Structure 1
């Protein structure tokens, strides 16, 4: 019978597994892994046959101060929708890239970041991270085509309600590829 020896890669793997089991280090490791993922993945536009059109609707929302509002989807403005949470490592990993995108496109694209968390928790998180993202709680069930079972799930919808991007998992929204998609959306809207 051949005796197995410990190799450095086996030791590192074992340490990684142990750290994932310990609650205090699990979220730190998950965030680090997702930050690497963000660096590797940019959003991709859906193939034309996979792009579906939403019936225009008003998304009934509540902002973090408790004020009810509605944002029109499919009525002339491109929209970025993100389902996320403050406790979700992939969400946290991609938020810096969403913030950068929002800073550059927020006056031409409607950004809707949706969470069901306590508004005080969300406000504290945004303040700590220095984000000024438009975060809301939904006051209605999303249309079936925008129903997400996992977070983060993000959608980019054109001015006519066509879903161009449906991306799940941590993604680099500030990539050249994403910016090219947003630039094209804005050009089409200006015609």
Structure 2
């Protein structure tokens, strides 16, 4: 084997081991996923799905019980997630920063199947404070099926689904904030 091939193989092996470490080692996993997360795209109204039936009972885990219909006519940030999900954990710092600045302008609805105890411990350890619910019934039929998490929808005041994002994203980017400001104003 010539020296150039040996160097190439050694470099490839080193890169492979580093990437494997970043993905497998839990403390660096969320950091790595955050580095490759991008700002989500806000879709135009034409062709987007629309919510008509807002009747959806929600049990508050760290907030009051409610019905999704209370949020009708407002911009809604709807996120399905779990405390054990690495991509979910990766995007939460972005979401918390976004929530801090927009909680009076946007309705935040986070849905999980985690227990109240698991959620409370996770929030204590990570200093999160956004409202989390469990679904009592199926969610609105106009929402596409949630087959993986995280899955996030942004719904405008008229009920149009303007964002449908699977996977981790940078929800605190200037580009996304500008689009949300436009939705809040209209």
What band does the TM-score fall into relative to the shorter chain?
0.7 to 0.9
Q: What's the counterpart of residue 31 of structure 2?
A: 32
Where in structure 2 are there 5+ consecutive unaligned residues?
A: none
The verdict on how the C-alpha distance between 1:65 and 1:152 changes in structure 2, with shifts beyond 3 A counting, is closer
Contact persistence 2:96–2:130 (CA under 8 A): yes
83, 89, 93: which one pairs with 2:80? 83
Give the RMSD, CA atoms, in angstroms: 2.4
The count of corresponding residues between Structure 1 and Structure 2 is: 183
- 1:59 offset after TM fit, Å? 2.5
CA 1:160–1:18: 2 relative to 1, 3 Å: closer
Q: Matched residues in 1 for 2:29 and 2:17: separation?
A: 14
TM norm structure 1: 0.84
Structure 1 unaligned spans of 5+:
none
| Equivalences for residues 19-98 of structure 1 within 5 A | 19=21, 25=25, 27-38=26-37, 41-64=38-61, 68-72=65-69, 75-98=72-95
**Greater CA drift, 46-55 or 83-92:** 46-55
Deviations 1:87-112 (A, max 9, x none): 11111111111111111111221100
8 Å contact kept, 1:152–1:169: yes
Residue in 2 aligned with 1:150?
148
Q: Does 1:11 align with 2:10?
A: no
